[in-house]
Structure 1
Amino acid sequence: MTPTTVTRTRTTGRRMASLVVAATSVGALLFTPGTAVAAPTGNATASAARVPLQDAIARLRVAEEDRSGYDRAAFRHWIDADKNGCTTRAEVLIDEAVLPPEIGAKCALAGGRWYSYYEDAYVDGGAGLDIDHMVPLAEAWDSGASAWTSKQREAYANDLDQPRALVAVTAKYNRSKADQDPSTWLPPYEGARCTYLTDWVTVKTKYDLAVDATELDTLRRLAAQCPNVPIEPGTP
C-alpha cells in the first residue's frame, strides 16, 4: 500500500499546527504532528529542549502512583488569567475552532465548528465540547503534582502556553477517558493515537511528571509504531 498524506492546518491563536494523516504499511492511520518548533536557546533547560519522542519516553521518571489526598479542587481551573473576559475554557475553544465562533458579551460564544480528533469528527457549536486536560488532573496528582504549590497546580490546569496541554474534544470521549492513562484508554480513532501519545509525553515531560511501570511499557510499545518526531515541552 502506498502511503498517502493529507494535511489539515489550524491557523487560530496559539495552536498554529498541522496534523498530518499518513497511511501505514498495515493500513492504520496515524496522526503525525507537524507543528514547527524552534531550536532551544542556550539557556533552555533539559525539559525545554527538543527531544525525539522515544528518547523523551526513555527519560521519564518511573515511580508508583499515589492518589492519597487528591481533590480536584486543588487544581483551580478555567480562570481568566489575562483579564480579557474569557476563561481558559473559552480561550481554548476560540483557538481551536476550525470555523471561528462569534464572541459576544462576557465572551459568550455562538456558532463555530471544531474538530474532535479523538474520534475524527467535526462538531458544530461548543456546547457539546469539553476541554480535556491531556494528562488528567488526578493523574498529574498521582505523578508528582501532589507536591506542588496551589499556584503551580493552577498554572498546570490552565496551561495556554503548551498547545498540547489542553484540547477541545467531545464530552462523550473526554468523560470516557476520565482520569485514565494510555495503558487503559486511548482515542477510539486509531488514526489519532500517535498524536495522542505525543501530546501525553510532551505534557509529562514539561512538568516532570512520573510514569508507573505499566504506563511506561505502554508508551514504549505505542511509540515503536509511531514516527519518532521531536517534541518541545517548554518549561513549566
Structure 2
Amino acid sequence: MRRRPALLTTALITAGLVVGGGLAADAAPAAVPAGRADARVLLDRLTVRSDSHAASYQRRAFHVWNDADRDRLDTRAEVLKAESRVTASVNRYGTVKGGRWISRYDNRVVTKATRLDVDHLVPLAEAWRSGAWKWSATRREAFGNDLGYGPSLIAVTRSSNRSKGDRDPAGWMPPASSYACAYVKQWIAVKSRWHLSVDRVERKALAAGLDGCDSLAVAKPGKPAISALVERRKTRTTTPKPAGGGASSAYYRNCDAVRAAGRAPLYRGQPGYETPRLDRDGDGVACE
C-alpha cells in the first residue's frame, strides 16, 4: 500500500501530467503557425444572435459577379482560373471554358467549367440573415466578390452547390467527409472576417465540427479591403489587361521567392497566386 503514491506519481510523470511537483490541468495548446488563426478562438469571438430579415433578402443586393480590376475576367472567372489544377482555357470574352478542377464538396474531378458553380462558402442569403441586411451596398458587393480571402469563394459541382442551398453547417455538410473539418474552420473564418453572427444551433454544430479536427489552424481571415473597392469604382482610366492576365500576371519560382518579395501569404485572385504549384492544398491561400 505504501508504494501506491510513488507508482501513481511515476505514472503521471510518464503521462506528462505532473508539472513542477503538481498536476497540470491541461496540456499546453499547440502553437498556431504564422499566417494562421485558431478556429476555436475565432468561433468564441463571434456574436451569437438569431437570424433576422430573411424575408427581405435579394441576391442582386450583393452585385455578383463584378470585374473589379477590369481585366475582362469577372469574379467567377477569376476563381475558376485560379483553382484549375492545369492552365485554364479562357476565350476572348473572358469566359473560362476548360481546365481541371477538384470539387471539394464531393471530391469529383471536373474538366468543363459549365459544370461548376462558384459558391459563396457562407451563402449570400445566410450572410444577409446574419447581419448583411444592414450593410451598405458597397460592403455587400465586396462580400459577394471577395477574392481577397481564398476560402470565401470555392469552385464546386453544380449538384453539390444546389444540395447545399443557403443552409449553414447545422443543416448541411459536404458529402466528402475529408473536407468536413476544413469546411467548418473556413465557415468560421469567413464569418469572422465579415463580423457576421451565428445562431445558437449553428454555433453548436460548428463547435462539434471542430471537436473532430486534428488541427484548429485556419488561414487568418484578415480585414476585407472595402475602401479599395470604392477606389476602383472611382477610377475609370485604368488600361484593361488582356483577357487571361488575371491572377497569373506575376510569377514566383517558389514560396521562398514570394516571401523574399514580401508578398506572403498570397490569396486567390492576387498577382502570382497559382494552384497547385504554390497553393498545394487548394484552400485559396498560398505560401502561408
SS at match of 2:209: helix
How do 1:114-125 residues align onto structure 2 when only pairs under 5 Å count?
114-125=101-112
SS at match of 1:186: coil
Q: Structure 1: where are the runs of 5+ without partners?
A: 1-35, 39-49
Q: Structure 2: where are the runs of 5+ without partners?
A: 1-32, 225-288
Does residue 131 of structure 2 align to residue 131 of structure 1?
no
Tell me how far apart the structure 2 counterparts of residues 65 and 191 of structure 1 sit (CA, whole Å). Answer: 29
Q: Is the 8 A contact 2:107 2:176 kept in 1?
A: yes
How do 1:34-113 residues align onto structure 2 when only pairs under 5 Å count?
38=35, 50-66=36-52, 67-113=54-100
Task: Supply the RMSD in Å over aligned alpha carbons.
Answer: 1.3
Tell me how far apart the structure 2 counterparts of residues 98 and 233 of structure 1 sit (CA, whole Å). Answer: 24
Q: Which has the higher helix share?
A: 2
SS at match of 2:119: strand
Q: Please give the per-residue CA displacement for 1:36-66, whole angstroms capped at 9, x wherever unaligned.
A: 853xxxxxxxxxxx53111111111100101
Q: Which has the higher strand share?
A: 1
Q: Is the 8 A contact 2:116 2:155 kept in 1?
A: yes
Tell me how far apart the structure 1 counterparts of residues 153 and 125 of structure 2 sit (CA, whole Å). Answer: 15
Tell me how far apart the structure 2 counterparts of residues 37 and 161 of structure 1 sit (CA, whole Å). Answer: 18
Tell me how far apart the structure 1 counterparts of residues 67 and 191 of structure 2 sit (CA, whole Å). Answer: 24
Alignment: residue pair count: 190
Identity, % of aligned positions: 39
Out of 210, 215, 223, which is 1:235 matched to? 223
CA 1:225/1:88 → structure 2, altered by over 3 Å: closer, same or farther? Answer: same
Q: Counterpart in 1 of 2:9? A: none
Out of 171, 176, 187, which is 2:174 matched to? 187
Q: Counterpart in 2 of 1:11? A: none
Q: Please give the per-residue CA displacement for 1:126-150, whole angstroms capped at 9, x wherever unaligned.
A: 1100000000000000000001001
Q: Which amino acid counterpart does residue 180 of structure 2 have in structure 1?
A: R
TM-score, normalised to structure 1, is 0.78
Large movers: runs of 4+ above 4 Å? none
Q: Which amino acid counterpart does residue 44 of structure 2 have in structure 1?
A: A
Shift of 1:100: 1.8
Q: Counterpart in 1 of 2:212? A: 225
Out of 199, 208, 211, which is 2:198 matched to? 211
Tell me how far apart the structure 1 counterparts of residues 189 and 157 of structure 2 sit (CA, whole Å). Answer: 22
